[in-house]
Chains A and B, each alone.
Chain A
Amino acid sequence: MRIQTLLLLFCLVLPQLSSAAGPPKSQDSPQGVSSINPGADLWREVRQRDGEILEGISQVKSVDSGFLINARGDEWARFRITKLSSYGGIAIAAIFVIVTLLYVVRGKIPIEGGLSGRMVRRFTDYERIVHWTLAIVFLFLAITGLILLLGKSLLLPILGKEVFSLFASASKEGHNLFGPLFLVSLIMMFLSFARRNIYENGDLTWLLKGGGLIGKGHVSGGFFNMGEKTWYWMVILIGFVIAISGLILVSPFFGQGRWIMELSHVVHTIGALILMTVSVGHMYLGSIGSEGALEGMKSGYVDINWADAHHDRWGKVCHDENLIVSAEDYARLQGRKPGDTGELATEQGK
Protein backbone atom coordinates (compact mmCIF):
# COMPACT_ATOMS: atom_id res chain seq x y z
CA MET A 1 0.00 0.00 0.00
CA ARG A 2 2.76 2.36 1.00
CA ILE A 3 4.85 1.46 -2.00
CA GLN A 4 1.88 2.08 -4.25
CA THR A 5 1.44 5.54 -2.76
CA LEU A 6 5.12 6.27 -3.22
CA LEU A 7 4.97 5.07 -6.81
CA LEU A 8 1.98 7.28 -7.48
CA LEU A 9 3.78 10.25 -5.99
CA PHE A 10 6.84 9.51 -8.08
CA CYS A 11 4.72 9.37 -11.22
CA LEU A 12 3.16 12.70 -10.36
CA VAL A 13 6.48 14.39 -9.66
CA LEU A 14 8.44 12.90 -12.53
CA PRO A 15 6.96 14.91 -15.42
CA GLN A 16 7.47 18.12 -13.48
CA LEU A 17 11.08 17.21 -12.78
CA SER A 18 11.80 16.43 -16.41
CA SER A 19 10.06 19.56 -17.65
CA ALA A 20 11.95 21.64 -15.12
CA ALA A 21 15.19 20.26 -16.51
CA GLY A 22 14.19 21.51 -19.96
CA PRO A 23 13.62 19.47 -23.10
CA PRO A 24 16.29 16.80 -23.51
CA LYS A 25 18.69 17.46 -26.36
CA SER A 26 19.15 13.76 -27.08
CA GLN A 27 17.63 10.51 -26.03
CA ASP A 28 19.23 7.19 -25.39
CA SER A 29 17.60 4.15 -26.83
CA PRO A 30 16.83 1.32 -24.43
CA GLN A 31 19.68 -0.72 -25.85
CA GLY A 32 22.10 1.89 -24.65
CA VAL A 33 22.99 2.99 -28.18
CA SER A 34 23.24 6.77 -28.29
CA SER A 35 20.92 8.14 -30.92
CA ILE A 36 20.73 11.88 -31.31
CA ASN A 37 17.37 13.12 -32.42
CA PRO A 38 18.08 15.67 -35.15
CA GLY A 39 14.39 16.11 -35.89
CA ALA A 40 13.52 17.16 -32.38
CA ASP A 41 16.36 19.65 -32.23
CA LEU A 42 15.55 21.05 -35.64
CA TRP A 43 11.87 21.58 -34.94
CA ARG A 44 12.60 22.98 -31.50
CA GLU A 45 14.75 25.63 -33.13
CA VAL A 46 12.12 26.31 -35.75
CA ARG A 47 9.53 26.79 -33.05
CA GLN A 48 11.93 29.18 -31.26
CA ARG A 49 11.46 27.33 -28.00
CA ASP A 50 15.04 27.99 -26.92
CA GLY A 51 14.83 31.65 -27.76
CA GLU A 52 17.01 31.10 -30.81
CA ILE A 53 15.46 32.01 -34.11
CA LEU A 54 16.28 29.71 -36.96
CA GLU A 55 15.73 31.44 -40.23
CA GLY A 56 15.54 29.45 -43.39
CA ILE A 57 15.47 30.60 -46.98
CA SER A 58 12.60 30.70 -49.37
CA GLN A 59 12.24 31.28 -53.07
CA VAL A 60 9.30 33.49 -52.21
CA LYS A 61 10.96 36.79 -51.50
CA SER A 62 8.89 38.79 -49.09
CA VAL A 63 9.16 40.11 -45.56
CA ASP A 64 9.99 37.37 -43.05
CA SER A 65 9.30 34.66 -45.66
CA GLY A 66 12.28 32.67 -44.36
CA PHE A 67 10.69 32.15 -40.97
CA LEU A 68 8.62 29.01 -40.71
CA ILE A 69 6.95 29.91 -37.45
CA ASN A 70 6.62 33.31 -35.84
CA ALA A 71 5.85 32.47 -32.22
CA ARG A 72 5.76 36.13 -31.21
CA GLY A 73 2.74 36.84 -33.37
CA ASP A 74 0.43 34.93 -31.08
CA GLU A 75 1.96 36.60 -28.02
CA TRP A 76 1.28 39.99 -29.58
CA ALA A 77 -2.29 39.03 -30.50
CA ARG A 78 -2.96 37.80 -26.97
CA PHE A 79 -1.48 40.99 -25.52
CA ARG A 80 -3.65 43.11 -27.78
CA ILE A 81 -6.84 41.24 -26.96
CA THR A 82 -6.40 40.60 -23.24
CA LYS A 83 -4.40 43.67 -22.15
CA LEU A 84 -4.59 46.56 -24.63
CA SER A 85 -8.27 46.32 -25.49
CA SER A 86 -9.57 45.58 -22.02
CA TYR A 87 -7.29 47.80 -19.91
CA GLY A 88 -7.42 50.53 -22.55
CA GLY A 89 -11.20 50.53 -22.45
CA ILE A 90 -11.17 50.57 -18.65
CA ALA A 91 -8.72 53.50 -18.59
CA ILE A 92 -10.87 55.58 -20.93
CA ALA A 93 -14.04 54.77 -18.98
CA ALA A 94 -12.29 55.44 -15.66
CA ILE A 95 -11.10 58.93 -16.60
CA PHE A 96 -14.65 59.93 -17.55
CA VAL A 97 -15.89 58.64 -14.19
CA ILE A 98 -13.11 60.51 -12.35
CA VAL A 99 -13.84 63.73 -14.20
CA THR A 100 -17.57 63.42 -13.53
CA LEU A 101 -16.90 62.79 -9.83
CA LEU A 102 -14.55 65.77 -9.72
CA TYR A 103 -17.24 67.95 -11.26
CA VAL A 104 -19.83 66.68 -8.80
CA VAL A 105 -17.53 67.16 -5.80
CA ARG A 106 -15.63 70.33 -6.69
CA GLY A 107 -17.88 71.81 -9.32
CA LYS A 108 -16.69 74.58 -11.60
CA ILE A 109 -13.76 76.34 -9.95
CA PRO A 110 -14.88 79.98 -9.83
CA ILE A 111 -12.67 83.01 -10.31
CA GLU A 112 -12.14 84.83 -7.02
CA GLY A 113 -13.82 88.19 -7.29
CA GLY A 114 -15.74 87.10 -10.37
CA LEU A 115 -15.15 88.21 -13.93
CA SER A 116 -13.91 91.78 -14.22
CA GLY A 117 -14.55 92.17 -17.92
CA ARG A 118 -11.04 93.59 -18.31
CA MET A 119 -9.14 91.26 -20.55
CA VAL A 120 -5.55 90.44 -21.28
CA ARG A 121 -4.13 88.79 -24.39
CA ARG A 122 -3.00 85.23 -23.80
CA PHE A 123 -2.70 83.54 -27.20
CA THR A 124 -2.19 84.88 -30.70
CA ASP A 125 -4.37 83.76 -33.58
CA TYR A 126 -1.57 81.56 -34.89
CA GLU A 127 -1.18 79.88 -31.52
CA ARG A 128 -4.89 79.20 -31.33
CA ILE A 129 -4.92 77.78 -34.85
CA VAL A 130 -2.02 75.49 -33.91
CA HIS A 131 -3.80 74.39 -30.75
CA TRP A 132 -7.14 73.68 -32.41
CA THR A 133 -5.59 71.97 -35.42
CA LEU A 134 -3.74 69.61 -33.14
CA ALA A 135 -6.81 69.18 -30.95
CA ILE A 136 -9.15 68.34 -33.83
CA VAL A 137 -6.68 66.00 -35.52
CA PHE A 138 -5.99 64.36 -32.15
CA LEU A 139 -9.68 63.86 -31.39
CA PHE A 140 -10.33 62.46 -34.85
CA LEU A 141 -7.42 60.03 -34.53
CA ALA A 142 -8.47 59.09 -30.99
CA ILE A 143 -12.03 58.25 -32.01
CA THR A 144 -11.05 56.33 -35.15
CA GLY A 145 -8.32 54.53 -33.19
CA LEU A 146 -10.72 53.59 -30.43
CA ILE A 147 -13.18 52.23 -32.99
CA LEU A 148 -10.46 49.89 -34.21
CA LEU A 149 -9.33 48.94 -30.70
CA LEU A 150 -12.66 48.57 -28.89
CA GLY A 151 -15.18 48.37 -31.73
CA LYS A 152 -15.13 44.58 -31.93
CA SER A 153 -16.38 44.21 -28.37
CA LEU A 154 -18.51 47.37 -28.07
CA LEU A 155 -19.90 48.30 -31.50
CA LEU A 156 -19.87 45.10 -33.54
CA PRO A 157 -22.51 43.27 -31.47
CA ILE A 158 -24.85 46.27 -31.86
CA LEU A 159 -24.22 47.22 -35.49
CA GLY A 160 -23.60 43.82 -37.02
CA LYS A 161 -20.60 42.84 -39.14
CA GLU A 162 -21.55 44.62 -42.37
CA VAL A 163 -22.28 48.05 -40.89
CA PHE A 164 -19.41 47.91 -38.42
CA SER A 165 -17.03 46.92 -41.20
CA LEU A 166 -17.96 50.16 -43.02
CA PHE A 167 -17.26 52.17 -39.87
CA ALA A 168 -14.00 50.37 -39.21
CA SER A 169 -12.87 50.66 -42.81
CA ALA A 170 -13.58 54.40 -42.84
CA SER A 171 -11.84 54.70 -39.48
CA LYS A 172 -8.77 52.91 -40.74
CA GLU A 173 -8.53 54.99 -43.93
CA GLY A 174 -9.19 58.21 -42.04
CA HIS A 175 -6.69 57.29 -39.34
CA ASN A 176 -4.03 56.60 -41.98
CA LEU A 177 -4.76 59.83 -43.87
CA PHE A 178 -4.88 62.16 -40.88
CA GLY A 179 -1.98 60.51 -39.06
CA PRO A 180 0.76 62.44 -40.88
CA LEU A 181 -1.17 65.68 -40.22
CA PHE A 182 -0.81 64.96 -36.51
CA LEU A 183 2.98 64.99 -36.88
CA VAL A 184 2.84 68.29 -38.79
CA SER A 185 0.65 69.99 -36.20
CA LEU A 186 2.76 68.48 -33.43
CA ILE A 187 5.87 70.11 -34.88
CA MET A 188 3.97 73.41 -35.11
CA MET A 189 2.91 72.97 -31.50
CA PHE A 190 6.49 72.31 -30.46
CA LEU A 191 7.84 75.36 -32.28
CA SER A 192 5.30 77.85 -31.02
CA PHE A 193 4.91 76.77 -27.38
CA ALA A 194 8.20 75.13 -26.35
CA ARG A 195 9.94 78.19 -24.90
CA ARG A 196 7.14 79.06 -22.47
CA ASN A 197 6.91 75.46 -21.30
CA ILE A 198 10.42 75.18 -19.95
CA TYR A 199 10.28 74.30 -16.27
CA GLU A 200 11.24 77.08 -13.89
CA ASN A 201 11.44 77.94 -10.21
CA GLY A 202 8.20 77.43 -8.36
CA ASP A 203 7.04 74.53 -10.47
CA LEU A 204 8.03 72.07 -7.75
CA THR A 205 5.88 73.88 -5.18
CA TRP A 206 2.95 73.57 -7.59
CA LEU A 207 3.53 69.84 -7.80
CA LEU A 208 3.84 69.42 -4.03
CA LYS A 209 0.54 71.20 -3.50
CA GLY A 210 -1.11 68.96 -6.09
CA GLY A 211 -1.85 71.90 -8.34
CA GLY A 212 -4.26 73.38 -5.83
CA LEU A 213 -6.27 70.21 -5.32
CA ILE A 214 -4.63 69.75 -1.92
CA GLY A 215 -5.46 72.48 0.56
CA LYS A 216 -7.17 75.76 -0.12
CA GLY A 217 -6.35 78.60 -2.43
CA HIS A 218 -4.48 78.78 -5.70
CA VAL A 219 -0.90 77.82 -6.20
CA SER A 220 1.46 80.33 -7.68
CA GLY A 221 2.05 79.85 -11.39
CA GLY A 222 3.71 81.51 -14.36
CA PHE A 223 2.34 81.80 -17.91
CA PHE A 224 1.84 78.06 -17.81
CA ASN A 225 1.68 76.20 -14.54
CA MET A 226 3.53 73.00 -13.82
CA GLY A 227 0.58 70.79 -14.74
CA GLU A 228 0.13 72.47 -18.10
CA LYS A 229 3.85 72.20 -18.79
CA THR A 230 3.84 68.51 -17.97
CA TRP A 231 0.84 67.95 -20.22
CA TYR A 232 2.61 69.90 -22.97
CA TRP A 233 5.77 67.79 -22.75
CA MET A 234 3.69 64.62 -22.60
CA VAL A 235 1.95 65.66 -25.82
CA ILE A 236 5.24 66.49 -27.49
CA LEU A 237 7.25 63.46 -26.38
CA ILE A 238 4.58 60.77 -26.43
CA GLY A 239 3.10 62.42 -29.52
CA PHE A 240 6.38 62.03 -31.39
CA VAL A 241 6.63 58.39 -30.34
CA ILE A 242 3.07 57.81 -31.54
CA ALA A 243 3.73 59.63 -34.80
CA ILE A 244 6.92 57.71 -35.55
CA SER A 245 5.44 54.32 -34.65
CA GLY A 246 2.36 55.23 -36.67
CA LEU A 247 4.48 56.03 -39.71
CA ILE A 248 6.21 52.67 -39.34
CA LEU A 249 2.81 50.98 -39.28
CA VAL A 250 1.32 52.92 -42.16
CA SER A 251 4.24 52.38 -44.52
CA PRO A 252 4.99 48.68 -44.73
CA PHE A 253 7.21 49.11 -47.79
CA PHE A 254 10.57 49.56 -46.07
CA GLY A 255 10.93 45.85 -45.42
CA GLN A 256 10.23 46.09 -41.71
CA GLY A 257 9.40 42.69 -40.29
CA ARG A 258 6.40 41.61 -38.33
CA TRP A 259 8.24 41.94 -35.02
CA ILE A 260 8.86 45.65 -35.65
CA MET A 261 5.23 46.10 -36.66
CA GLU A 262 4.00 44.34 -33.52
CA LEU A 263 6.30 46.43 -31.33
CA SER A 264 5.24 49.63 -33.09
CA HIS A 265 1.60 48.73 -32.65
CA VAL A 266 2.00 48.13 -28.91
CA VAL A 267 3.99 51.35 -28.39
CA HIS A 268 1.53 53.30 -30.57
CA THR A 269 -1.51 52.03 -28.66
CA ILE A 270 -0.08 52.46 -25.15
CA GLY A 271 1.15 55.97 -25.96
CA ALA A 272 -2.17 56.94 -27.51
CA LEU A 273 -4.11 55.55 -24.55
CA ILE A 274 -2.00 57.61 -22.12
CA LEU A 275 -2.53 60.79 -24.15
CA MET A 276 -6.26 60.10 -24.58
CA THR A 277 -6.72 59.52 -20.86
CA VAL A 278 -4.88 62.66 -19.81
CA SER A 279 -6.47 64.70 -22.60
CA VAL A 280 -9.89 64.15 -21.03
CA GLY A 281 -8.54 65.78 -17.86
CA HIS A 282 -7.07 68.62 -19.95
CA MET A 283 -10.37 69.17 -21.75
CA TYR A 284 -12.24 69.15 -18.45
CA LEU A 285 -9.95 71.71 -16.79
CA GLY A 286 -9.95 73.83 -19.92
CA SER A 287 -13.73 74.01 -20.15
CA ILE A 288 -16.32 73.17 -17.49
CA GLY A 289 -13.76 72.54 -14.75
CA SER A 290 -12.43 76.05 -14.44
CA GLU A 291 -14.31 79.27 -15.01
CA GLY A 292 -12.82 81.56 -17.65
CA ALA A 293 -10.21 79.11 -18.93
CA LEU A 294 -11.83 78.29 -22.27
CA GLU A 295 -12.00 82.00 -23.15
CA GLY A 296 -8.21 82.04 -23.69
CA MET A 297 -8.38 79.48 -26.47
CA LYS A 298 -11.68 80.82 -27.87
CA SER A 299 -10.88 84.51 -28.28
CA GLY A 300 -7.23 84.62 -27.33
CA TYR A 301 -8.04 86.87 -24.36
CA VAL A 302 -8.58 85.95 -20.71
CA ASP A 303 -10.06 87.89 -17.83
CA ILE A 304 -7.39 89.61 -15.77
CA ASN A 305 -8.93 88.18 -12.60
CA TRP A 306 -8.54 84.68 -14.05
CA ALA A 307 -4.91 85.43 -14.87
CA ASP A 308 -4.28 86.72 -11.35
CA ALA A 309 -5.90 83.66 -9.80
CA HIS A 310 -4.39 80.89 -11.91
CA HIS A 311 -1.20 82.40 -13.27
CA ASP A 312 -0.34 85.10 -10.74
CA ARG A 313 3.24 85.62 -11.86
CA TRP A 314 2.13 86.17 -15.45
CA GLY A 315 -0.78 88.33 -14.21
CA LYS A 316 1.68 90.51 -12.36
CA VAL A 317 3.66 91.04 -15.56
CA CYS A 318 0.43 92.05 -17.31
CA HIS A 319 -0.31 94.57 -14.59
CA ASP A 320 3.23 95.92 -14.60
CA GLU A 321 3.44 96.27 -18.36
CA ASN A 322 -0.10 97.60 -18.58
CA LEU A 323 -1.30 95.02 -21.08
CA ILE A 324 -4.88 95.04 -19.85
CA VAL A 325 -7.63 95.77 -22.36
CA SER A 326 -10.73 97.50 -21.04
CA ALA A 327 -14.15 95.86 -21.34
CA GLU A 328 -15.23 98.27 -24.11
CA ASP A 329 -12.07 97.85 -26.13
CA TYR A 330 -12.40 94.10 -25.81
CA ALA A 331 -16.00 94.17 -27.04
CA ARG A 332 -14.88 96.26 -30.01
CA LEU A 333 -12.03 93.84 -30.71
CA GLN A 334 -14.48 90.97 -30.67
CA GLY A 335 -16.75 92.80 -33.10
CA ARG A 336 -19.69 92.76 -30.73
CA LYS A 337 -20.58 96.40 -31.22
CA PRO A 338 -23.12 96.94 -34.01
CA GLY A 339 -21.47 98.30 -37.13
CA ASP A 340 -18.20 96.49 -36.51
CA THR A 341 -17.53 93.69 -38.94
CA GLY A 342 -15.98 90.43 -37.95
CA GLU A 343 -13.14 91.02 -40.38
CA LEU A 344 -12.23 94.29 -38.75
CA ALA A 345 -12.31 92.60 -35.39
CA THR A 346 -9.80 90.01 -36.47
CA GLU A 347 -7.59 92.63 -38.02
CA GLN A 348 -7.58 94.66 -34.90
CA GLY A 349 -7.13 91.54 -32.84
CA LYS A 350 -3.74 91.04 -34.39
Chain B
Amino acid sequence: MARMKFYCDAERCIECNACVTACKNENDIPWGVNRRRVVTIKDGEQGERSLSVACMHCSDAPCAAVCPVDCFYTTGDGIVLHDKDICIGCGYCFYACPFGAPQFPKDAAFASRGKMDKCTFCAGGPEEDNSSDEFKKYGRNRISEGKLPLCAEMCSTKALLAGDADVISDIYRKRIVNRGGSAFNWGVSSNIKG
Protein backbone atom coordinates (compact mmCIF):
# COMPACT_ATOMS: atom_id res chain seq x y z
CA MET B 1 0.00 0.00 0.00
CA ALA B 2 1.12 3.47 -0.77
CA ARG B 3 1.74 5.97 1.98
CA MET B 4 0.67 9.33 0.63
CA LYS B 5 2.72 12.36 1.65
CA PHE B 6 3.24 15.98 0.74
CA TYR B 7 6.72 17.37 0.53
CA CYS B 8 7.58 21.01 -0.06
CA ASP B 9 11.09 21.79 -1.24
CA ALA B 10 12.09 25.04 0.45
CA GLU B 11 14.81 25.60 -2.17
CA ARG B 12 12.25 25.71 -4.94
CA CYS B 13 9.18 27.36 -3.45
CA ILE B 14 8.86 30.89 -4.81
CA GLU B 15 5.82 31.90 -2.74
CA CYS B 16 3.57 32.25 -5.78
CA ASN B 17 0.56 31.01 -3.79
CA ALA B 18 -0.77 29.20 -6.84
CA CYS B 19 -1.23 26.03 -4.75
CA VAL B 20 -3.49 27.97 -2.37
CA THR B 21 -5.59 29.31 -5.22
CA ALA B 22 -5.74 26.03 -7.10
CA CYS B 23 -6.85 24.19 -3.97
CA LYS B 24 -9.54 26.74 -3.22
CA ASN B 25 -10.86 26.61 -6.75
CA GLU B 26 -10.69 22.86 -7.28
CA ASN B 27 -12.39 21.99 -4.00
CA ASP B 28 -14.82 24.92 -3.79
CA ILE B 29 -13.68 25.66 -0.25
CA PRO B 30 -15.96 27.66 2.06
CA TRP B 31 -15.35 31.37 2.59
CA GLY B 32 -12.67 32.12 5.17
CA VAL B 33 -11.02 28.71 4.98
CA ASN B 34 -7.75 28.00 3.22
CA ARG B 35 -6.79 24.37 3.24
CA ARG B 36 -3.31 25.28 2.11
CA ARG B 37 -1.18 28.32 2.81
CA VAL B 38 2.34 29.48 2.02
CA VAL B 39 4.41 30.67 4.95
CA THR B 40 7.51 32.76 4.37
CA ILE B 41 10.15 32.76 7.07
CA LYS B 42 12.69 35.57 7.43
CA ASP B 43 10.85 37.54 4.77
CA GLY B 44 13.24 40.03 3.16
CA GLU B 45 16.20 38.81 5.19
CA GLN B 46 19.13 36.65 4.30
CA GLY B 47 18.11 33.00 4.27
CA GLU B 48 14.46 33.66 3.43
CA ARG B 49 12.52 30.48 2.83
CA SER B 50 8.96 29.77 1.81
CA LEU B 51 6.99 26.63 2.43
CA SER B 52 3.55 25.54 1.38
CA VAL B 53 1.70 23.80 4.21
CA ALA B 54 -1.57 21.95 4.50
CA CYS B 55 -2.59 18.80 6.28
CA MET B 56 0.52 16.62 6.37
CA HIS B 57 -1.53 13.42 6.74
CA CYS B 58 0.41 12.37 9.83
CA SER B 59 0.88 8.67 10.50
CA ASP B 60 -0.05 9.29 14.14
CA ALA B 61 -2.34 12.26 13.74
CA PRO B 62 -2.88 14.49 16.82
CA CYS B 63 -6.25 15.62 15.40
CA ALA B 64 -7.51 12.04 15.39
CA ALA B 65 -6.19 11.47 18.90
CA VAL B 66 -7.85 14.55 20.37
CA CYS B 67 -11.18 14.40 18.49
CA PRO B 68 -13.91 13.85 21.12
CA VAL B 69 -16.18 12.06 18.65
CA ASP B 70 -13.51 10.09 16.79
CA CYS B 71 -14.46 11.40 13.34
CA PHE B 72 -11.00 11.04 11.77
CA TYR B 73 -9.89 7.99 9.87
CA THR B 74 -6.86 7.02 7.82
CA THR B 75 -7.44 5.53 4.39
CA GLY B 76 -5.48 2.59 3.01
CA ASP B 77 -3.27 5.11 1.22
CA GLY B 78 -2.34 6.77 4.52
CA ILE B 79 -4.58 9.81 3.87
CA VAL B 80 -6.13 11.30 7.02
CA LEU B 81 -9.77 12.20 6.38
CA HIS B 82 -12.66 13.26 8.59
CA ASP B 83 -16.36 12.52 8.48
CA LYS B 84 -18.34 15.76 8.52
CA ASP B 85 -21.50 13.90 9.53
CA ILE B 86 -19.77 12.88 12.77
CA CYS B 87 -17.78 16.11 13.36
CA ILE B 88 -19.36 18.42 15.94
CA GLY B 89 -17.19 21.45 15.17
CA CYS B 90 -15.57 21.74 18.60
CA GLY B 91 -12.27 22.92 17.17
CA TYR B 92 -10.00 20.67 19.22
CA CYS B 93 -8.27 19.38 16.07
CA PHE B 94 -7.44 22.98 15.15
CA TYR B 95 -5.73 23.48 18.52
CA ALA B 96 -3.92 20.15 18.38
CA CYS B 97 -2.70 20.22 14.78
CA PRO B 98 0.93 21.39 14.52
CA PHE B 99 0.28 22.78 11.03
CA GLY B 100 -3.01 24.57 11.60
CA ALA B 101 -4.65 22.41 8.95
CA PRO B 102 -8.24 21.93 10.24
CA GLN B 103 -10.21 25.18 10.31
CA PHE B 104 -13.68 26.49 11.16
CA PRO B 105 -15.88 27.86 8.45
CA LYS B 106 -16.83 31.29 9.76
CA ASP B 107 -20.10 32.00 7.99
CA ALA B 108 -22.62 31.11 10.69
CA ALA B 109 -24.28 33.59 13.05
CA PHE B 110 -22.54 34.57 16.32
CA ALA B 111 -19.38 32.88 15.01
CA SER B 112 -20.95 29.54 15.80
CA ARG B 113 -18.75 26.99 14.23
CA GLY B 114 -19.71 24.70 11.44
CA LYS B 115 -18.07 21.39 10.70
CA MET B 116 -14.32 21.55 10.48
CA ASP B 117 -12.75 21.74 7.05
CA LYS B 118 -9.35 20.41 6.12
CA CYS B 119 -7.18 19.22 3.26
CA THR B 120 -8.33 15.83 1.98
CA PHE B 121 -5.30 15.14 -0.26
CA CYS B 122 -7.97 15.57 -2.97
CA ALA B 123 -9.44 12.27 -1.81
CA GLY B 124 -12.96 13.42 -0.93
CA GLY B 125 -14.66 11.86 2.07
CA PRO B 126 -16.62 8.84 3.20
CA GLU B 127 -19.43 9.49 0.69
CA GLU B 128 -19.67 7.73 -2.65
CA ASP B 129 -16.74 8.65 -4.90
CA ASN B 130 -17.37 11.77 -7.02
CA SER B 131 -20.96 12.15 -5.81
CA SER B 132 -22.36 15.67 -5.52
CA ASP B 133 -22.73 15.13 -1.78
CA GLU B 134 -19.06 14.36 -1.48
CA PHE B 135 -18.10 17.39 -3.55
CA LYS B 136 -20.27 19.69 -1.47
CA LYS B 137 -18.72 18.55 1.80
CA TYR B 138 -15.14 17.72 0.92
CA GLY B 139 -14.38 18.90 -2.60
CA ARG B 140 -12.96 17.01 -5.55
CA ASN B 141 -11.97 13.37 -5.31
CA ARG B 142 -8.99 13.24 -7.66
CA ILE B 143 -7.43 10.19 -6.03
CA SER B 144 -10.38 8.06 -7.18
CA GLU B 145 -9.65 9.24 -10.74
CA GLY B 146 -6.01 8.22 -10.42
CA LYS B 147 -4.81 11.81 -10.10
CA LEU B 148 -2.70 13.43 -7.41
CA PRO B 149 -3.67 16.57 -5.44
CA LEU B 150 -3.98 19.58 -7.71
CA CYS B 151 -1.76 21.85 -5.59
CA ALA B 152 1.25 19.62 -6.24
CA GLU B 153 0.26 18.72 -9.80
CA MET B 154 0.27 22.33 -10.94
CA CYS B 155 3.19 23.64 -8.88
CA SER B 156 5.24 25.59 -11.41
CA THR B 157 8.62 25.00 -9.79
CA LYS B 158 7.75 21.48 -8.67
CA ALA B 159 8.54 22.54 -5.13
CA LEU B 160 5.43 20.86 -3.82
CA LEU B 161 5.45 17.13 -4.31
CA ALA B 162 2.61 14.78 -3.50
CA GLY B 163 2.40 11.04 -3.77
CA ASP B 164 3.77 7.84 -2.35
CA ALA B 165 6.39 8.62 0.28
CA ASP B 166 8.94 6.30 -1.31
CA VAL B 167 8.66 7.97 -4.72
CA ILE B 168 8.72 11.46 -3.21
CA SER B 169 11.83 10.77 -1.17
CA ASP B 170 13.56 9.28 -4.22
CA ILE B 171 12.85 12.44 -6.22
CA TYR B 172 14.05 14.61 -3.38
CA ARG B 173 17.19 12.52 -2.88
CA LYS B 174 18.11 12.96 -6.55
CA ARG B 175 17.60 16.70 -6.22
CA ILE B 176 19.97 16.88 -3.27
CA VAL B 177 22.61 14.99 -5.18
CA ASN B 178 22.26 17.12 -8.31
CA ARG B 179 21.82 20.42 -6.55
CA GLY B 180 25.40 20.48 -5.29
CA GLY B 181 26.53 22.64 -2.45
CA SER B 182 27.80 21.37 0.83
CA ALA B 183 26.76 17.91 1.82
CA PHE B 184 26.56 19.27 5.35
CA ASN B 185 23.76 21.66 4.51
CA TRP B 186 21.13 19.06 5.23
CA GLY B 187 19.49 19.72 1.95
CA VAL B 188 19.25 23.48 2.23
CA SER B 189 21.84 25.08 -0.03
CA SER B 190 23.17 28.42 0.96
CA ASN B 191 26.01 30.72 0.14
CA ILE B 192 26.08 32.25 3.60
CA LYS B 193 29.53 31.91 5.05
CA GLY B 194 30.98 32.54 8.46
CB under 8 Å from chain A, chain B span 91-108? 91-92, 94-100, 103-104, 106
Measured between beta carbons, the chain A residues less than 8 angstroms from B97 are 70, 73
Contacts of B111 in A (CB 8 A): 251-253
A53-78 CB mask vs B (1 if < 8 Å, else 0) is 01011111010111111110110110
Q: How far is the CB of B66 from chain A (nearest CB, A)?
A: 4
The reply to whether B42 and A62 form a contact with Cβ atoms under 8 Å apart is no
Q: Which residues of A contact B99 (CB under 8 A)?
A: 68-70
**Residues 81-98 of A at the B interface (beta carbon under 8 Å):** 81
Interface string of A248-259 (1 = CB under 8 A from B): 000111000010
A262 within 8 A of B: yes
B70 sits at the interface (CB 8 A): yes
Which residues of chain A from 223 to 260 have any CB-CB distance to chain B below 8 Å in the complex? 251-253, 258
Q: Is B90 touching A71 in the complex (CB atoms < 8 A)?
A: no
Q: Per a CB cutoff under 8 Å, which of B39, B69, B186, B187 touches A164? A: B69
Q: Which of B47-55, B138-146, B152-160, B165-173 contacts A (4 or more CB under 8 A)?
A: B47-55
Contact A29 B65 (CB under 8 A): no
CB pair B70 A56 closer than 8 Å? no
Contact code string B39-64 (vs A, CB < 8 Å = 1, else 0):
11111000101010100000000100
User: Assuming A59-B17, A165-B69, A258-B95, is B192 touching A38 (CB within 8 A)?
Assistant: yes
Provide the main secondary structure of the chain B interface. loop
Query: Would you call B2 an interface residue if the criterion is a C-beta within 8 Å of the partner chain's C-beta atoms?
Result: no
Bound state CA distance, A69 and B53, in angstroms? 10
Which of B10, B96, B106 has the largest count of A CB atoms less than 10 A from its CB? B96
B188 within 8 A of A: yes
A77 CB to closest chain B CB (Å) equals 4
Closest Cβ of chain B to A52, distance in Å, is 12
A279 interfacial by beta-carbon distance below 8 Å: no
Nearest chain A CB to B176's CB is how many angstroms away?
Answer: 11
Proximity bits, B66-86, A CB within 8 Å = 1, else 0: 111111000000000001011
- Bound-state Cα–Cα, A168 to B90, Å: 10
Q: Which of A37, A38, A81 contacts B65 (CB 8 A)?
A: A81
Query: Are A68 and B86 also in contact (CB < 8 A) when A38-B185, A77-B65, A81-B66 are?
Result: no
Q: A42-B188, A165-B71, A168-B88 are in contact. Are A80 and B66 (CB under 8 A)?
A: yes
Q: How far is the CA of A337 from the CA of B106 in the complex (A)?
A: 59
Does B182 make an interface contact (CB < 8 A)?
A: yes
A111 an interface residue at 8 Å Cβ cutoff? no
| Chain A-chain B contacts (Cβ-Cβ < 8 Å), number | 150
Within 8 A of B (CB), among A33-61: 34-40, 42-43, 46, 54, 56-60
Cα separation A120 to B37 with both chains bound (whole Å):
69
Q: Decide: A77 and B70 in contact? CB cutoff 8 A.
A: no
- Cβ < 8 Å to B, chain A residues 139-158: 148-149, 151-152, 156
Inter-subunit contact A161/B71 (CB<8 Å)? yes
Bound: A81/B112 CA distance, A: 25
B38 interface residue (CB < 8 Å to A): yes
- Which of B43, B71, B95 is close to A73, meaning CB atoms less than 8 Å apart? B95
Q: Does B190 contact A (CB under 8 A)?
A: yes
Tell me the minimal C-beta distance from A251 to chain B in angstroms.
6
Report yes or no: A74 in contact with B96, Cβ–Cβ below 8 A: yes
- Contact of A172 with B89 in the complex, beta carbons under 8 Å: yes
* A176 sits at the interface (CB 8 A): yes
11 A-B pairs within 8 Å (CB atoms) are namely A35-B184, A38-B185, A39-B10, A57-B43, A60-B38, A70-B98, A73-B96, A77-B95, A77-B96, A169-B88, A252-B111
Q: Beyond the given A74-B62, A161-B71, could you list 6 further A-B residue pairs with CB under 8 A, ordered by the A residue number?
A: A36-B194, A38-B192, A42-B188, A56-B43, A73-B95, A165-B69
Q: Which residues of B contact A (CB under 8 A)?
A: 10, 15, 17, 20, 32, 34, 37-43, 47, 49, 51, 53, 62, 65-71, 83, 85-92, 94-100, 103-104, 106, 111-113, 182, 184-188, 190, 192-194
Residues on A facing B (Cβ under 8 Å): 27, 29, 34-40, 42-43, 46, 54, 56-60, 62, 64-71, 73-74, 76-77, 80-81, 148-149, 151-152, 156, 161-162, 164-165, 168-169, 172, 176, 251-253, 258, 261-262, 265
